Amino acid sequence: MDYQQILNKIYDEIKPLIGKGKVPDYIPALGNVSADHFAMAVSTVNGEEFTIGDADKNFSIQSVSKVFTLTIAMDLVGDKLWKRVGREPSGSSFNSLVQLEYENGIPRNPFINPGAIVVSDAIFEGRGKTKNRLLKFVREVSGNAAISFDEEVAESERKFGNRNRAMANLMKSFNNLNETADDVLDIYFHQCSIGMTTLDLARSVLFLANSGIDPKTGNKILSSRMTKKMNSLMLTCGLYDAVGDFAYRVGLPGKSGVGGGIAAIVPDELTVAVWSPALNKHGNSYAGTKALELFTTYADNSIF
């Protein structure tokens, strides 16, 4: 398969869509990012890599980071996690307080904001230690030791994260947080601030396309059983309340973030990541979603 030719073809077709949608301004540090960026990267289990556009430019991965904290939690606490967070699509906004109140402080899944906050609580070992562990993990799976938190983004998240703070305190009132809301939110805000390139992102989730083993290093990141569970959660919960449309159009497990990034998995074959900051009404990259739809169409590698 000539993936570079496919990426070039997608880039030509996607150009009129780049910048359509809206860059999120409720987090000011994200609102300052130009909507005109676009990047796409493919990383295969056989070690091949292909890119197009701004694939070497750092961006804030935001909720894509939930894949990494969930991977750590699955390794640390295993299936005990599911006593505190569900595994069902939310069907509502990723930051809904109404749903959380109605369901007694148990988030629908680990990929919406309250679910990710519970996951951050589950891996908590102290603020500094937890953040260091997360950063070490992301650097390991991406192969890039320079990846770090963007403190400006983390501070912007903290300053304007009132709804996340409300959700954390609500879950605390239902005894679904062990640590203080402020301690857990510090981890959560920092994980969302992680900056990496589109190629870094494709590399960092490659273990999910290879039964939990990182083909770059041979290291076992997750068991094959847990990898299956992660991919199934990404397929059913990874694109907020647009998972059905994404499965219909793209047909791959994926995880998006409001920074405009999406990482998707083709099991046993490759990962593909896109970045385009302008979002659709569901909070997913407008041009990025279309680019992934074209990718699985031209490469004929949807899981369905």
Per-residue pLDDT reduced to its tens digit, 60-94: 999 999 999 999 999 999 999 999 999 999 876 66
pLDDT tens digits, one per residue of 16-70: 999 999 999 888 889 999 999 999 999 999 999 999 999 999 999 999 999 999 9
How far is 231 from 233, CA to CA, in rounded Å?
A: 5
Weakest mean pLDDT among 80-94, 211-225, 244-258, 279-293: 80-94
Question: According to the model, what pLDDT value does residue 281 have?
Answer: 92
Tokens of 214: 């990182």
pLDDT of residue 27: 87
86, 211, 70, 41 alpha-carbon torsion, rounded to 10°: -120
**pLDDT value of residue 98:** 86
- pLDDT at residue 278 is higher than 70: yes
pLDDT at 150: 95
Percent of the chain with pLDDT over 70: 99
Q: What is the mean pLDDT of the chain?
A: 95
| Domains of the chain, residue spans | 3-299
Residue 93, pLDDT score: 64
- Residue 95 is predicted with a pLDDT of 66
pLDDT in tens, 234-276: 999 999 889 999 999 999 999 999 999 999 999 999 999 999 9
Q: What is the pLDDT of residue 299?
A: 97
Question: Which pTM was predicted?
Answer: 0.96
Task: Return the pLDDT at 25.
Answer: 86
CATH for 3-299 is 3.40.710.10
Determine the Cα–Cα distance for residues 207 and 161; give it in Å rounded to an integer. 32
Residue 159 has pLDDT above 80, yes or no: yes
State which of 97-111, 153-167, 283-297 shows the largest mean pLDDT.
283-297
Per-residue model confidence (pLDDT) at position 97: 87
The answer to whether the CB of 47 falls within 8 A of the CB of 215 is yes
What is the mean pLDDT of the segment spanning 101-122? 95
For 174-200, the pLDDT digits (tens) are 999 999 999 999 999 999 999 999 999
State mean pLDDT over 9-13: 98
Residue 94, pLDDT score: 63
Q: What is the mean pLDDT of residues 141-170?
A: 95
Q: What is the DSSP string of 150-218?
A: -HHHHHHHHHH-HHHHHHHHHHHHTT--SS-HHHHHHHHHHHHTEEE-HHHHHHHTGGGGTTTB-TTT-
Output the pLDDT for position 96. Answer: 73
What is the pLDDT averaged over residues 161-167? 93
